[in-house]
Amino acid sequence: MSQEYHCRIYVTLRPSVLDPAGVAVQSGLHQLGYEGVEKVRIGKYIELTMMAHDKTHAETQLDEMCDRLLANPVIENYCYEITALETTGSPK
């Protein structure tokens, strides 16, 4: 029986990769007066729901999806959180 999972995926640039967008945002924040802000890095945050047999299956699928489409493994890292959604209605 399949179960629905809610997934939150965080994709970040590897620490060794330059982040021009982060530099631009940091500069903007400094110009607005927030001088104490440093080390700004911009990443992606992806939310989705998926059907899977169990949590291990969901993790396997999610790893594949990140490697193939959601992240660029050459320059990006990713991590995720998976939560099983409550099923309402008909009994399983």
Chain contacts with a copy of itself (rule: CB under 8 A): 2, 10-12, 25-26, 28-29, 32, 34, 36-52, 61, 64-65, 68-70
In angstroms, what is the minimal distance from the CB of 52 to a copy of itself? 7
Contact 52, 2 (CB under 8 A): yes
11 three-class SS: strand
In angstroms, what is the minimal distance from the CB of 43 to a copy of itself? 4
In angstroms, what is the minimal distance from the CB of 74 to a copy of itself? 19
Round the CA-based radius of gyration of the chain to a whole number and report it: 18
Nearer to a copy of itself, 11 or 59 (CB): 11
Q: Which residues contact 81 (CB under 8 A, 6 or more apart)?
A: 7, 8
Nearer to a copy of itself, 54 or 64 (CB): 64
Nearer to a copy of itself, 31 or 91 (CB): 31
Q: Which residues contact 8 (CB under 8 A, 6 or more apart)?
A: 45, 46, 47, 80, 81, 83
